Amino acid sequence: MDNKVSNLKYNISEALELPKDLVLDLPKIVMIGNIQINISNHKGIIEYTKEVLRVNSTIGIIKISGTNMELKTILSEEIIVKGNIEKVEIIS
Amino acid sequence: MGTIKAWNFLRGYVIIRIEGLTLERFLNLAASNDIYLWDINRVDYTTLEMKVSIKGFRQLKEVVKKVGCRVELIEKKGFPFFIYELKQRKMLGLGFIVFFALIFYLSSLIWHIEVIGNETVATDEILETLEKENIKKGIIKYRVDKDYLENLLLKKYDIFSYLSVNIEGTKLTIEVKERDIPPELIDKDTPCNIVANKKGVIEKVIARNGRVAVKKGDVVQKGQVLITGIISDEYSDIQMYVHAEGEVLARTSYSYKVEEPIVKTVKVETGEVYKRYQLQIGEKGIQFIQGDIPFKDYVENVREIKIFNLDLKLPIKILVHEYKEVQSKKIEQDVEFIKKSNHIKAVEELNKQLPPSAKIESKDVNHYIKDNMVVTYVVIEVIEDIGEKQLLN
């Protein structure tokens, strides 16, 4: 059932060229080189240290590893991380 | 980026430190309560440092209660806190205002009046006229009516053909152009004589009106009547007075003597300078002396050190006495060279004396040597108009 709905949503967004992060309620991860990463549509922070940042989302946990990481901004829909980013993992 | 920073500064923000165990929960709660946090930094396992706006800081209290962590305020930054601080230190704020007001006030005064281009009318005279109109040093520059001033000065002094008043900063500049003065004309109907204005030998007299009183070859003295305006008839006693007019060309001579020693002593500066400072307060002065002047022959030169580049007379002055060491040297010059240079010097000097309409007839140069001196004597003979009108009394 759930799978069918999401399939339909995917097809519609594909047909109408709508942004999928909005239609499918997915997180949007934008990286600028290895110095900044923007995660929109997140579901809260699980862990934050200078080396590891884990963010909850609809597709699972997004784990970002690096050094000297700093949260530049936290808003209810967007997180901006600055620092030296080394790895981005999605653990579902 | 810069605009956001500036906006944050304007709104004011605080840097806070949060200690607790469930810091991620704190961050999530803050985000869901729409509290804007930025520049979040993990200091150590239990501590976070972040920036938050003043409004956000108040809202954080609820979140802190829920999470159960400790908040410590580290620094207040931004414009509102600056204003608050100023309110606490009223005199500082007052000082600021007084400072700016003073600068504004002082820069709106006229500190210096300059007159450029006047030759016959003395600067002091113009300044005096201005003073009568209440324009002097220390008045507010916005009160100076430039057009009025221009008209006033142009009306008062006929000799000015152009005048402009300018205010640049704290300086009032009056620029004038003087017209060439036309020679004083004697009315054509008034009877007059033509007299000689210098000694000379008459070459030619052309009388357009009046009777010629001299002839060619006459030696005339200064003031002698050349063309008379009094015409009398041989047969009657009636005298007619006319306005004499005409040209009297006469041979006149100009001479100039130049002397130059053959062996002369010249004082040459060696470049060694010894300075002494003097502090002058009013009429009295203190000289700071460090030992004697180490030179035998020297030239003294007193100079004032101007602290501010202002034309103000301050009661305190710093004077510098500069002693420049000199050495006397005897130089023997070439006689021929001196003759030449003397000649040139004399001719230059004579050229200044000659009226522009004069025609040079002859030039006589004489050199002779007397007591170590080369004396050059130059005589120039010219033909010029020596006539000058003089009223009959």
| B363-377: pLDDT as tens digits | 888 888 877 788 888
ipTM of the complex: 0.81
Q: How confident is the model at residue A79 (pLDDT cuts 50, 70, 90)?
A: very high
**Do the domain assignments include residue B89?**
no
- B50's tokens: 């972040």
Question: What pLDDT shows up at residue B174?
Answer: 87
Longest dimension (CA), chain B: 144
CA atoms B176, B181, B187, B191: torsion sign: positive
Query: Among B64, B83, B102, where does a domain finish?
Result: B83
Q: Are B309 and B233 in contact (CB under 8 A)?
A: no
Of the candidates B307, B296, B301, B308, the residue with the CA atom closest to the CA atom of residue B275: B301
Are both B317 and B340 inside the same structural domain? no
CA distances from B277 to B53, B311, B326 (A): 61, 21, 20
Alpha-carbon span B361 to A50, nearest angstrom: 106
CA distances from B370 to B258, B262, B367 (A): 12, 10, 10
DSSP assignment, residue B181?
P
Instruction: Determine whether B26 is exposed, middle or buried from the number of CB atoms within 10 Å of its CB (0-12, 13-18, 19+).
Output: buried
**Do the domain assignments include residue B53?**
yes
Domain span at B119: 112-178
Question: What pLDDT shows up at residue B186?
Answer: 65
**Do the domain assignments include residue B269?**
no
Total domains in chain B come to 5
Q: How confident is the model at residue A53 (pLDDT cuts 50, 70, 90)?
A: very high
The string of DSSP letters for B299-337 reads EEEEEEEPSSS-----SEEEEEEEEEEEEEEEEEPPHHH
Amino acid identity of B25?
A: R
User: How many residues are present in chain A?
Assistant: 92
Q: Are B23 and B16 in contact (CB under 8 A)?
A: no
Are both B145 and B205 inside the same structural domain? no
Rounded to the nearest angstrom, the gap between the alpha carbon of residue B113 and the centroid of all alpha carbons in its chain is 10
Q: Are B307 and B319 in contact (CB under 8 A)?
A: no
- Cross-chain residue pair B24–A48, CB shorter than 8 Å: yes
**Do the domain assignments include residue B59?**
yes
- Please report residues of B whose CB lies closer than 8 A to that of A75: 31, 34, 36
Task: Find which of B1, B15, B28 to mutate to test the A interface (most A CBs within 10 Å of its CB).
Answer: B28
Are both B116 and B139 inside the same structural domain? yes
Q: Of A24-28, A49-53, B236-240, B360-364, which one has max mean pLDDT?
A: A49-53
Alpha-carbon span B194 to B192, nearest angstrom: 7
Alpha-carbon span B355 to B387, nearest angstrom: 13
- Cross-chain residue pair B45–A73, CB shorter than 8 Å: no
Question: What pLDDT shows up at residue B99?
Answer: 95
Query: CATH number of the domain at A26-91, please?
Result: 2.60.40.2000
- A87's tokens: 């790895």
The CATH number covering residue B58 comes to: 3.30.70.260
**Do the domain assignments include residue B316?**
yes
**Do the domain assignments include residue B383?**
yes
Question: What pLDDT shows up at residue A85?
Answer: 94
Query: Among B326, B343, B364, where does a domain finish?
Result: B326
Q: Which ranges of chain B have pLDDT less than 70? A: 1, 181-187, 306-314, 393
**Do the domain assignments include residue B292?**
yes
DSSP assignment, residue B290?
-
Question: What pLDDT shows up at residue B353?
Answer: 80
Considering just the CA atoms, what is the radius of gyration of chain A in Å? 15
Alpha-carbon span A71 to A49, nearest angstrom: 10
- Cross-chain residue pair A74–B27, CB shorter than 8 Å: yes
Task: Find which of B24, B36, B45, B53 to mutate to test the A interface (most A CBs within 10 Å of its CB).
Answer: B24
Question: What pLDDT shows up at residue A66?
Answer: 94
Query: Among B65, B83, B101, where does a domain finish?
Result: B83
- End-to-end, the C-alpha distance of chain B in Å comes to 96
Question: What pLDDT shows up at residue B131?
Answer: 85
Alpha-carbon span B327 to B205, nearest angstrom: 60
Amino acid identity of A24?
A: L
- Cross-chain residue pair A70–B34, CB shorter than 8 Å: no
Are both B6 and B25 inside the same structural domain? yes
Alpha-carbon span B16 to B31, nearest angstrom: 16
Which of A4-18, A35-49, A78-92 is predicted least confidently?
Answer: A4-18
Question: What pLDDT shows up at residue B310?
Answer: 62
- Cross-chain residue pair B40–A47, CB shorter than 8 Å: no
Question: What pLDDT shows up at residue A89?
Answer: 93
Contacts of B379 (CB under 8 A, 6+ apart): B253, B254, B255, B363, B364, B366
Q: How confident is the model at residue A87 (pLDDT cuts 50, 70, 90)?
A: very high
**Do the domain assignments include residue B103?**
no
